[in-house]
Amino acid sequence: MSDNLRGSLFMCLAMLGFAIEDAFFKSATGGFGVSAGVGTLLFGVFGTTFFILRSLWMRERVWTRSYVERPLLIRSSFEIVGRLFFALALTFAPLSTTSAILQAAPLVVTLGAALVLKEPVGVRRWSAMMVGFFGVLLIVRPTPSGFDATSIFAILGMIGFAGRDLMTRASPPEVTATQLGILGFVMVFIAGCVISVFESAPFAAPNPGALALLMGTGLAGVMGYSALTKAMRTGEVSVVAPFRYSRLLVALIVAYIIFGERPDLLTYLGAALIVSSGTYTLVRSGRVRAR
């Protein structure tokens, strides 16, 4: 099996894990009545515990001074924003809409790399980004008749994740993937605390069914994160990265079967534009880096 094929399979496995994570979290905060704050807080606890144990097992340092240096402080701020608003989006917005908007993150990363990191971006990729952002508008529909305010949560969450991914490029190379996992899930915990402070409902422990779903959320999230790290270190990025859009396919199937969501034609069209433009941008970026 070639490295590109193995990397692509790991990417599909990662996206399957993230899609299952989203479905479990939405089920826990929907049908089982867990608040978005408590769900996010416990998700952060599960993930942090796993990566600390993994770090000890691999004999890596759990704490590094790089955590409090400027690149990772900025990355952590974006992580909190992303996790905070994405949790709210999963709780209150349709899963299909949230997942579709999230797929625009690579386009925002490319835009940020051009504006902040001064990476060269040609006319073709600028054009692809414009097409992708038009796809987001088709989903959000910022008109009085078609606008859903909960879509703003998904957009803000997507911007937070894009900023996190952008700052990951600038993170110190000596910080391992496991250490980034520890830092990331600590930020998830903090995001849960922030949401809980502003929630009107009193803090309440989840019942056994909800707790099982949240544990499933943590396991699926850890599986996705680990497979994603493996995918990006196996094969060519330009070949492996576009398979991240398999997450949207899984999310649409889950939304249809489990949550009974029926996205309209404009949502499907917008999602198709985002995926097409994002795939082109990732492939084109990989070719430019190769040259």
What pLDDT digit, counting tens, does each position of 51-87 carry? 999 999 999 999 988 898 888 999 999 999 999 999 9
Give the Cα separation of 50 and 127 in Å (integer). Answer: 41
Residue indicated by tokens 């492939």 = 283
**Domain extent at residue 145:** 3-290
Which residue type does 291 have? R
Element (H, E) at 271: helix 265-290
Asked if residue 180 lies in contact with residue 168, where contact means CB atoms within 8 angstroms, the answer is yes
Give the Cα separation of 207 and 213 in Å (integer). Answer: 10
The values of phi and psi at residue 67, to 5°, are -55, -35
Percent of the chain exceeding pLDDT 90 equals: 22
- State both tokens at 231: 């995918």
Mean pLDDT of 263-288: 80
- For residue 13, the model assigns a pLDDT of 92
Give the Cα separation of 87 and 120 in Å (integer). Answer: 34
pTM of the model: 0.83
Number of domains in the chain: 1
Kindly report the CA angle at 83 between 241 and 13, in degrees rounded to 5? 35
Q: What is the dihedral of CA 228, 233, 235, 241, to 10 degrees?
A: 40
Query: Per mean pLDDT, which range of 105-109, 206-210, 287-291 is the poorest?
Result: 287-291
